[in-house]
Structure 1
Amino acid sequence: MSRPVKRSASLALAAVLAASLSGCSLLPKEEVALAPPLVKPAKENYQTKPAEKGSITVGINATAYFESVHTFVAQFTGQGGRVQDVLVRSGDVVKKGDVLVRLVMDDLDLKVKEQELALEKAKYALKQQRVNRDEDPDAIRMAALQVEIEQLKYDRLAEQYNSKLLKAGIDGQVVFVEDVQPGDYVDTYQTLVIVADPTKLRLTLSTDSPELKNVNVGFPAEISLSTDRGLNTFKGKVVQTPSSAPQTLNKELAEKYAKTLYIDVSDLPKDVEIGAMADVKITTNKRDNVIKIPKSGLRSYLGRTFVRTLEEGNKVREADVEAGLQTPTEVEIVKGLREGEVVILQ
């Protein structure tokens, strides 16, 4: 290549580079990204409670009601039938022998009266034979047999008649009446009325508390009862527990016994009525001078039991612990925590 041609090529390359440089200078300069502002993390607020020493009491606190110790369950035992009248209502006071429910008689009451008359006529005829001056031994014997016959007829009719009447077996207060109407059919051994003796009462406490299994016959109970004289406290004693309940084939009664305590109350006022409510406290275990925390401070995860504590104001530490007695609000810590350590509540 000749020298003039080389020179022309060099000049052209220089022009291209100059144009490129001048073009780049026309683009805006890229802005430098600003660093995000530093934000001071907010201090987490914990609800805490120091572990403390004290007493912890475990037991049952529940509401119970008074029921009679002695009740009479009125049922037709011979045969059922259709109801003619229900003569009592809940709350009525009855005497032993009072009629509670009457079945349809089908003229049986009239037949009893007719037979009563026949019996009286037979007795009168016998009496006349015995006072007759011309006393005939055979006539007297036949008259006496007639009296026996009429008496047997009357007794059988009277038994049928009485089988249609449901009577109170004790003096007391009606606490239950089955919802039956005249014309309804009732079966044999169907409970229609329950009469309770209001002078002999005990407390009935039904509960699903896990502490129920730890209550034994003879355990003392504290009773709080509101009366016309204000709030009064009484002493009671457990007389029946699920484990001491009598065996029964009645499914409903067996289910009731399985979760019920019966409590006798000392010096109960006479004005306490069936159905009155009372607060009952039974202690099953108590420990003094133990470390305890609120129950919401105890944590469990994958079989591990632990607490979270707060140290030096903001340091959180986890500590495995062994729990002891527990109430609905507190728990005893047997191992793993000292008095005064600050526990984080959930």
Structure 2
Amino acid sequence: MNKIQKKILMPFVLAAALSFSGCYFFPNEEPVLEPPTLDVEKVVYSTYTVGRKDIESAVIQSGYVISASETDCYFNKYSGQLKNIYVNPGDFVEEGQLVAEMNNGTIEYQLKVQQKKVELAQLNYNNSHSAVDKLQLDIEQSTLESYQDQYDGGRIYAPVSGQVSFVKTLNPGDMVDPYDVLVKIIDPDKLCVRAEVTGSGGFSADDPVTVEVNGDIYEGVVVRTPKEELEEGDGFSDAVFVEFTKESPGFGCLGSIGNIKKVKASSLNTLVIPKYVIKTDGDRQYVQILKNDEKTEVDITTGVSNAVEIEVLSGLSEGDKVISR
């Protein structure tokens, strides 16, 4: 083969070589896979079914049942040893009745002796009308008054008629001091509820209220608020007082908790939903409801509310499913 023929054949040889060795320069293409498909899970919502019920907005304050008339009983002259207390809680007493006394030693005997001395001095003066006998009568009378004062100072008499609400626990022979309250007497027909409040507590004089005492409900009326207390300077500038208007709890409820309730607004058999399902956007109020398995926003207007629930005036119907979360 001459040189000219070699030059002519060379391109054909190279082309053939390249065609046979192409798999070494260009890898085989992999088959195209179908893209994976994702199953979308169905969203499950928690819902609240709109229903009808009564709702009220109220102010509630707790206090204690007390008596509007309460009198303390105590010795007011001197300290001494207690002889006895003659009454018990719940007892009815009459004004002037002896409720407690001290051991008075020989005072009672000295008082009786002195009464005789006064009688004798009076007889002597009646017979003589002398200045000396008049002076002696005055001395004996003054001594008698001193003994009588000591005797009376060791005895406590009921200053009013009423019912004993408190008796201090003491034993005969215990020391007692002046103004140490031993007995309290109340008027059982003047029970009321006193509740400490901040500001007015939401109450005004003459407000009708109800009072729950030991599970029983009583009707009442607000008779005093901090405003009246401050104006009259009675010392209870942080309290509301409620009197019972019809029935009142018995003596056994004295000191019990009384829950005062003032209803500000109420609505009967109305549509009610929980407050937490309501959403806001400025002045707009709306809820999300589930309708035909789809979430839908619905504007609503509301009415009476309490701490956890609110009345729906428009936008919802009974049986609607409101999405809570």
Paired with 1:296 and 1:183, the residues of 2 have a C-alpha distance of 66
Q: Does 1:183 align with 2:173?
A: yes
Sequence identity (%): 21
Paired with 1:319 and 1:78, the residues of 2 have a C-alpha distance of 78
Paired with 1:157 and 1:63, the residues of 2 have a C-alpha distance of 50
Paired with 1:320 and 1:75, the residues of 2 have a C-alpha distance of 69
Residue 224 (structure 2) aligned to one of 229, 237, 240: 240
- 1:216 aligns with 204
C-alpha contact (below 8 Å) 1:103/1:165 kept by paired residues: yes
Matched ranges for 1:24-173 at <5 A = 41=41, 44=44, 46-50=46-50, 56-60=55-59, 67-127=66-126, 129=127, 136-138=128-130, 141-173=131-163
Residue 287 of structure 1: CA displacement?
A: 6.8
C-alpha contact (below 8 Å) 2:199/2:226 kept by paired residues: no
* 1:12-49 deviation per Cα after TM superposition (whole angstroms, max 9, x unaligned): xxxxxxxxxxxxxxxxxxxxxxxx99887475352413
Secondary structure at 2:289 match in 1: strand
Matched ranges for 1:303-314 at <5 A = 309-312=288-291, 314=293
Residue 263 (structure 2) aligned to one of 261, 283, 290: 283
- 2:238 aligns with 258
Q: Does 1:202 align with 2:186?
A: no
Give 1:338's aligned amino acid. G
* 1:105-156 deviation per Cα after TM superposition (whole angstroms, max 9, x unaligned): 24222222222222122123234x1xxxxxx543xx3323222221111112
* 1:35-84 deviation per Cα after TM superposition (whole angstroms, max 9, x unaligned): x99887475352413387x8753224678775433221112333333322
C-alpha distance 295-111 of structure 1, shift in aligned 2 (>3 A): farther
Give 2:243's aligned amino acid. I
C-alpha distance 319-194 of structure 1, shift in aligned 2 (>3 A): farther
C-alpha contact (below 8 Å) 1:48/1:344 kept by paired residues: yes
Secondary structure at 2:201 match in 1: helix
C-alpha distance 248-70 of structure 1, shift in aligned 2 (>3 A): closer
C-alpha distance 76-322 of structure 1, shift in aligned 2 (>3 A): farther
Residue 175 of structure 1: CA displacement?
A: 0.4
Paired with 2:184 and 2:157, the residues of 1 have a C-alpha distance of 11
C-alpha contact (below 8 Å) 2:66/2:194 kept by paired residues: no
C-alpha distance 244-325 of structure 1, shift in aligned 2 (>3 A): farther
Paired with 1:90 and 1:299, the residues of 2 have a C-alpha distance of 58
- 1:28 aligns with none
Paired with 1:196 and 1:170, the residues of 2 have a C-alpha distance of 9
- 1:14 aligns with none
C-alpha contact (below 8 Å) 1:70/1:197 kept by paired residues: yes
* 1:181-207 deviation per Cα after TM superposition (whole angstroms, max 9, x unaligned): 233333332222110122x32331547
C-alpha contact (below 8 Å) 2:107/2:147 kept by paired residues: yes
C-alpha contact (below 8 Å) 1:202/1:265 kept by paired residues: no
Residue 331 (structure 1) aligned to one of 310, 318, 322: 310
Paired with 2:137 and 2:182, the residues of 1 have a C-alpha distance of 38
Give 1:309's aligned amino acid. Q
Query: What TM-score do the two structures reach when normalised by structure 1?
Result: 0.63
Paired with 1:314 and 1:94, the residues of 2 have a C-alpha distance of 75
Secondary structure at 1:44 match in 2: coil
Paired with 2:165 and 2:199, the residues of 1 have a C-alpha distance of 31
Count how many residue pairs are aligned between Structure 1 and Structure 2. 282
Secondary structure at 2:146 match in 1: helix
Residue 251 (structure 2) aligned to one of 274, 277, 302: 274
Paired with 2:63 and 2:261, the residues of 1 have a C-alpha distance of 10
Could you tell which deviates more after superposition, 278-287 or 318-327?
Answer: 318-327
Residue 316 of structure 1: CA displacement?
A: 5.3
Paired with 1:161 and 1:310, the residues of 2 have a C-alpha distance of 85
C-alpha contact (below 8 Å) 2:67/2:191 kept by paired residues: yes
Query: What TM-score do the two structures reach when normalised by structure 2?
Result: 0.66
C-alpha contact (below 8 Å) 2:45/2:323 kept by paired residues: no
Residue 91 of structure 1: CA displacement?
A: 0.9
Paired with 2:227 and 2:269, the residues of 1 have a C-alpha distance of 32
Paired with 1:41 and 1:279, the residues of 2 have a C-alpha distance of 51
C-alpha distance 42-206 of structure 1, shift in aligned 2 (>3 A): farther
C-alpha contact (below 8 Å) 1:85/1:182 kept by paired residues: yes
Q: Give the gaps of 5 or more residues in structure 1.
A: 1-35, 130-135
